[in-house]
Structure 1
Amino acid sequence: LPSCQTRVSTTFRADVSPADYTHRRTTAMSQRARNYPPDNYNTPSFPSINWQLRDLTDDHRWSLFHISDIWRFTVLWTTIIYAVVHLGAAAITIAMHTNKRGSLTYIWAVPLLYLIVSGVQALVAGSVVGLILGAVYNAGFFSMSTWIPLLWGVINVLVLIIASFTIQGGL
């Protein structure tokens, strides 16, 4: 019994009973859930990049609230960044093979093939990351700044680049 008293006094404030503490917490969460998203909210158009950490505008024009919007922004940014990186790799491939006679016949297919591969990879990676981000942000009733999907698109392509190297060693 004395250990219970110690646990209660260290977990809760002395002037607030555990039942009152739970009631206040659920009231705050339900109030936050009722205001999510705000009544005057409109989904921002793509890309709508805002570089501030918090959206202090009344209409939340730089915030994403719905999972579908978070998924869409993440997939679009991931697709754009993947396409740029794959086209850069295709340009290097074309530059290395222009002096060879046999490869000039099919060299036009390299950028097309790289774009198709990048589109499939971006759709899969962007969908997985976008849905996870949307679920996490919605579970906490948080809004997402519009630059977060761009950041995750960059992270996706960096993971792709790192995964393309073989690791020689004890791993």
Structure 2
Amino acid sequence: MFLKSHFGTIITAILALVMGFIMAIAVILVDQLGLTWTVLFKLWAEIFFIVFVVSLFIPYNSWGDRFAQLLGLKPGTLSFKLVQAIIPSAILNTFNTLICSGQSIFYNAEIPQSIRMQTWINGWTHDWLIFFIISYLASFVAVWVGTKTATVILGKPASRSI
């Protein structure tokens, strides 16, 4: 299994699964969508895919580390972890909010084409801060679950920075 070769890949996969589920529930509740299996699964799959793909190409964790270090925080401390998580949450939330809201607006025949762009901008600006806070808090749960899972599969790594 390819995931067993890399501790961080397991964390990323679990992060995407857990964040996808938490954020899908949040989107359904905040945007007052019907809580059905179809809506939940569609959003969960969409968010999972976005988080996983963005995680492959953007080194947001190292950017978060540098941001916390710029503020003079020591790695491993609670304050470092709290500040470090801001950058990854902001990046992942921005991609999720832009893509998920765009997909649900631009491919919705019930929204007249002439107002789709403004509807998308309004939806994005309304939802971004709400979902940033939710994703920021959920990221701690998702990383914890991912780390525990990776440790069970691979054992405790000699050294790593998350």
**TM-score (normalised: structure 1):** 0.30
- Choose between structure 1 and 2: higher helix proportion: 2
Taking structure 2 as the reference length, the TM-score comes to 0.31
Larger radius of gyration: 1
